[in-house]
Amino acid sequence: MIQTRSPRLGLRRAFTLIELVAVMVVLAVLAGVAIPKYFDYADRAKTSSVQGTLGAVRTALANFYTEAAVAGDAAYPTLAEIRTVGTVMQEAIPANPYNNLSTIQRITVLADAQNRAVSNTTQFGWNYYFDNNANPPVTIFWANSTDQTTVLNANGQPIRANRL
């Protein structure tokens, strides 16, 4: 830091150009390290959110089926029942973080459900298939998004959200 004397102001202090450039370089290096880390954390948070929601909904579907079976009517909930807070889930199903939608669409074709087909991604965050006429009844719930997650398959490749 340079100190200069001004007749009117007394002693003045100022940074040299070299000091300012050094500070800018340090800030640029820190930003270069921190920004990619931030995006990695954001991606992992999205993946964790989807996994948590899928786990909660799938558990709630299994509980609903078990309670219905004990009552003598082994069936999975209808789309209306899964959408109704307090029937299957105690709270509303959270938004899919990959498209920010919490809406659920019913899939009626088993092959689409088995392949985790994705459609209407601007309208629905989740897909739900159920067939209570099958023996035994079948249900599949998955994310309506093909975005890559931070979960890796056995080959080290990212798994897409609809495959979780």
Which pLDDT tens digits describe the chain residue by residue (164 residues)?
A: 555 555 565 556 777 888 888 888 888 888 777 777 767 788 999 999 999 999 999 999 999 999 999 999 999 999 999 999 999 999 999 999 999 999 999 999 999 999 999 999 999 999 999 999 999 999 999 999 999 999 999 999 999 999 99
DSSP label at 68? H
Q: Is 127 helix (H, G, I), strand (E, B) or coil?
A: strand
Strand 2-6 and strand 148-152: the pairing is unpaired
Collect all residues with Cβ–Cβ distance below 8 Å to 14 and sequence separation of at least 6.
1, 2, 4
The count of domains in the chain is 1
The tokens for 115 are 């392949």
**Domain range enclosing 118:** 2-163
Cα 19 to Cα 28: distance, rounded to the nearest angstrom: 14
